Amino acid sequence: MPLVSTSEERFENVPEYDYPADSVTVTDDGAEMAYVDVPGEGDETFLCLHGEPTWGFLYRKMIPGLRERGRVVVPDFVGFGRSDKYTDVDEYSFEMHYETLRRFVESLDLDGVTLVCQDWGSVLGLPFAVSDQPERFDRIVAMNALLTDGEIELVETWHQFKDLVVETDDFDPARLIDGACVSDLPADVLAGYRAPFPDEESKAGAYAWPPMVPQTPDTPGADRHAQLREDLKAWDKPFFALFSDSDPITEQYRDLFRDLVPTADDEPDVWVEAAGHFLQEDAGETCAEHIVDFVDRR
């Protein structure tokens, strides 16, 4: 099970993300999960989880606003960002990622958490927060999130995205991210998204994630989301479905969450305007404002 680490030199010129990084061991064979832990001015703790094929850099526009209310913790999943990376696609699984998230949260002993999650961050973070360790979480912000119990058909745009990743011989994460944003990303930001991946073998985690999304009820991970669906019906803590207006991949889940979660329709019925799948990139400051208002209300 070969592990590699991306040289820190590749991150030296990443714009607006110069927070010191730390790491914790999250697998039995020693894989390190990197994270930034930004102190804040209030008592809140925000746990921000990224998705495919990004890393904590995605949240750089949101951290300044969130830290006005408290601590902001932003990890990189194994295979992404500054975290260690397996070079074999077969080493990645739903349960591996889920277990590393569990070990990460328990290692930092996070408590009183507002979960902020998007894309794969929601696929892993929502069942963990709602069904596994709800005592650690005070609030949830589901941003362009998914509920993947295998009962909901994934849209054609998602299948096109999956095929784009798995069928290419030279996957460029930055080009995919740019294409899924409404705004055009500048060269230094594109370089920031390429920084974790110096070569093809370092992209194994990014290649692995799209086909891993549960598509049928017997797909690994679908059982966790089936339980999540049931547990969300009884979730009585604040829940904010914060979705963008230009993301065909996840838009179908927004009203599902608002209908399913008893507290979700207590929150404003808003769409983040002029934002695509990566709404943190297109409208990060606006998203942070919505979340701070959510915290202040609840």
User: Could you say which of 76, 149, 247, 282 is catalytic?
Assistant: 247
Closest CA to 46 of 128, 113, 125: 113
Strand order in the sheet with 44-49: 21-25, 32-38, 70-75, 44-49, 113-118, 137-143, 239-244, 271-272
Handedness of CA 213, 218, 224, 228 (dihedral sign): positive
Q: In angstroms, how far apart are the furthest CA atoms of the chain?
A: 48
User: Could you say which of 50, 97, 225, 277 is catalytic?
Assistant: 277
**90 labelled catalytic:** no
**18 labelled catalytic:** no
Backbone region of residue 15 per phi and psi (left: phi > 0; alpha: psi in -120 to 50; beta: other values):
beta
User: Could you say which of 119, 138, 178, 282 is catalytic?
Assistant: 119
**266 labelled catalytic:** no
Residue 138 near residue 296 (C-beta atoms within 8 A) = no
Q: What token pair was written down for 22?
A: 């730390």
- Active site amino acids: 119, 247, 277
